[in-house]
Structure formats: structure tokens, C-alpha cells
Structure 1
Amino acid sequence: MRALKRLPVRRRRAAAAVLAGVAAACALSAVRAPGGVEVLAAARDLAGGRLAASDVMVVRLPPDAVPAGAYAAGSPVTGRVVAGPLRRGEPLTDARLLGPGLFRFSGSPESVATPVRIADPGAARLLSPGDVIDVLAAYEDGPFEARTVAQEVRVIARPPGSTDGGGLLVLATTPAQAAGLAQAQAQGRLSVTIHPR
């Protein structure tokens, strides 16, 4: 009879020991550093422009979710220029900041960065880095017809700024296309057509 009275106590002690072990395991897993890779991301929605320290935050991503070219936590990005709009939480990559990464993104090793101002700032707002466009020029002196001055060039940046002089774009062009764009910009008004993605 005595053995029967002790059995429930033993079972209770065993159950308590198991529960204590589970609780300890949960506590240890909570104390351990969570897995993942720390990368830099936009701390708020950014229209573009120079990065301030308050524009950047550290986020932890699963290793398979880290985009190629992502900046690791602690990378010096303050003062760098964002090529186009970023959403809050979007990781910063070499293709999103002005610099050599954008030229790898443009797809051509002989590309040069060519800033152009198109006549309609609203058209510039439709574009994002990576878009492929044709640039047209309408000359003020001469026939009122537009001609294509650069075909299939990639937008690598849409810097923010004044819209009273048109929309500023930075394009990845060949040196010959850059010369043609400079001449066309000096003599007329530029517009764009957008290739489908």
C-alpha cells in the first residue's frame, strides 16, 4: 500500500523534472543569439539622395534571403548617394547606391555614367534604376520632329532634386552615346520612351 502512495509522488516529480527541463531548454534558446545575417537597410522610405546615419538601420535576414551585394552591418555607407527610391526595411546593396556596383548592374564594362535632364519631370518619376529607355531629342531650331539620340540605355539613378529644370536621370551609356546626349541636350529638349520589362 505504501508503494502505491509513493507512485503518484514519483510520477509528479518525474513530470516536474521533465517540465523543468523543457523550461530550461526554452530559456536557453531565447538567450542564444538568433540566427541570420545582419545587413544594412533603409530605416524609412527614402526618395534618394545622400544617406545620413538616421537613414540606415541593421536588420537580420535568413542567409538565403540576403541579396547579392548587400552591405554588412557596420559598412561605411553614410554620405553615399542612393540611386533611387528605397522602401523602409529594404536592404542596401551595391546596385542601389551610386558607385562601381551600379556599373556592374548596367551590364556593360565600357559604360559611363551620363547625367541627362529630360524636359518632363513627371516622366522621370516613372523611372527606376534598371529601367531600359530610349532618349529622344526635339530641337528648337529646325523641323519639329524628334529623333532618337540613344537607344536601349539603362537608368542607373534618379537623383532627387529640383523639378523646375526637368527630371534628372543618370544613364549607363557608351562614351559615343554620352557625347550625342550632351549635344542633343545643348540644342533641344529631351524625352524618353520606356521599354517593357
Structure 2
Amino acid sequence: MPLDAAPSRTARLAVMPRRILRRHYRLMAALLLCAAAALAVHHFTPAPPPTDAVVVAAADLPAGTVLSAADLALAQLPAGAVPAGSAASTQPLVGQRLATALRAGSPVFDTSIVGPGLLAGAPQGTVAVPVRPADPSTVQLVSPGQLVDIVLSSGNGFDEPAGSTVLARAVPVLWKADDGGASPTLLGSQEPDGLVVVAAAPSDATNLAGASSRGNIFLVLVG
């Protein structure tokens, strides 16, 4: 092998990167430009805002639904925008009964559930009182938020004089059972169907307690 063969090979290897650079400089320039643009976009793009989880209805749910895990979903709202009274976890809500109908995607509030949350915003001392009208079909005429007078009808007009007493006036309905007209069970006790829960002042609650044992309860819708 000639003595000058090694130096010439080394020279060719040194020149090769420059040839490749000249041949593909446009492609490499484009790649460098894209990388620079990506870095700039990443640098100037603000970080996503923090979010909080809120439980929402996974589908349209009617009032009276006993919630299951399939009825609920988690949505993300901007931190600080989660409404008061909503839930961040589905677990405490499973098995609870809805007091009002919910549209798909609506948050599940404490006021949506049969329980103490129904009295949110009520005057101090207000209590939730269940009443069972004598005619369960009348339950279908009322809805949560409707104001009703509660009337006790006693006597039979024969051996006992008939009379009516207003036990509570213009009390709001908090919740009603879905299906009026339930029949007694084999043990003689009735199912929750036909029940109405109203918000009453303590004095009215005293009058309403056990009223059904003194006669027939009727609901009168008021404006």
C-alpha cells in the first residue's frame, strides 16, 4: 500500500460530513426551525388551569331514583368554580334516593338527595315532616317546591261529627314518592309510596305528627 494512501483516506473522511451538510442543508435547516418553533410554543403556552372533581348525573334520572355507581360520573371544573353543596366522590351518594329529577351532566347537590340537605336555605328550626295523604293518587298532583295546605278531616258524620282542621298552611313540598296508590304489605305496613315530605315550622310539625291516626290527611294546592 502506498504511504500516502492513509492520509488521503483520512482527508476524504474529513470532507464527507461537509458534503452531507451541503447536500441536505435545507432539510436540516427545516428540522432546526421546527424544533425552535416547538420550543417556543411550549415556552409560551400557559399550563392548564387546576381543576376539581364534581359528581354529575351520568344520564337523565327521575326523582325517586336510588342511585347506583352507573348513574354517576365525575366531571372536572376549574378550581374554585365547583358549586357549593356538590360532591367530589361518588361513593357517599351510592344508595341515596333522588329528591328531584336530574338531567345528564347536572351536578348532584345535597339538595338533590332525600335527607337533611333538603332543608338547605330554610328558616332556622324548620324540620322535614313526612305525611301520607288519605288518597295516594293526589301525590301525583304535587311536585317539590309546590306549596300546600295540609288538612285533617275527622269524624264520619254519623256517630262522630265530621270536621276539618288546617294543620299547616302554605308549607313547601320537599319530596314525594314516585308511585301513589301502593297497597299494604303482608305485614300490614305500607311502602314509602304515597308519602310526601314537607318543610314545616316546629309548631306545625307538632300538629302533623301522628295526624293520620286522628283522621284523613288531605293536601290542598295553594299559589
User: Structure 2-normalised TM-score?
Assistant: 0.62
Match of 2:15 in 1: none
Q: Does 1:193 align with 2:221?
A: yes
Structure 1's 108 and 138: CA in aligned 2 closer, same or farther, altered over 3 A? same
Match of 1:110 in 2: 125
1:149 is aligned, of 136, 153, 167, to 167
Structure 1's 18 and 156: CA in aligned 2 closer, same or farther, altered over 3 A? same
2:57 is aligned, of 9, 22, 42, to 42
Q: Which runs of 5+ in 2 are unaligned?
A: 1-25, 184-192
Structure 1's 57 and 111: CA in aligned 2 closer, same or farther, altered over 3 A? same
- The separation in 1 between residues aligned to 2:48 and 2:136, in whole angstroms, is 47
Identity, % of aligned positions? 33
Bigger radius of gyration among the two: 2
User: Structure 1-normalised TM-score?
Assistant: 0.69
Structure 1's 144 and 16: CA in aligned 2 closer, same or farther, altered over 3 A? farther
Q: Does 1:55 align with 2:71?
A: yes
Q: Which runs of 5+ in 1 are unaligned?
A: 1-8
Tell whether the 8 Å contact from 1:38 to 1:60 is kept in structure 2 after alignment: yes
2:176 is aligned, of 144, 147, 158, to 158
Tell whether the 8 Å contact from 1:70 to 1:94 is kept in structure 2 after alignment: yes
Tell whether the 8 Å contact from 2:174 to 2:198 is kept in structure 1 after alignment: yes
Report the CA distance between 1:84 and its aligned residue. Answer: 2.8
Q: Does 1:136 align with 2:154?
A: no
Structure 1's 15 and 91: CA in aligned 2 closer, same or farther, altered over 3 A? same
Match of 2:199 in 1: 172
Tell whether the 8 Å contact from 2:151 to 2:219 is kept in structure 1 after alignment: yes
Tell whether the 8 Å contact from 1:124 to 1:168 is kept in structure 2 after alignment: yes
**How many residues were matched structurally?**
185
Tell whether the 8 Å contact from 2:133 to 2:216 is kept in structure 1 after alignment: no
Partner of 2:54, secondary structure, is strand
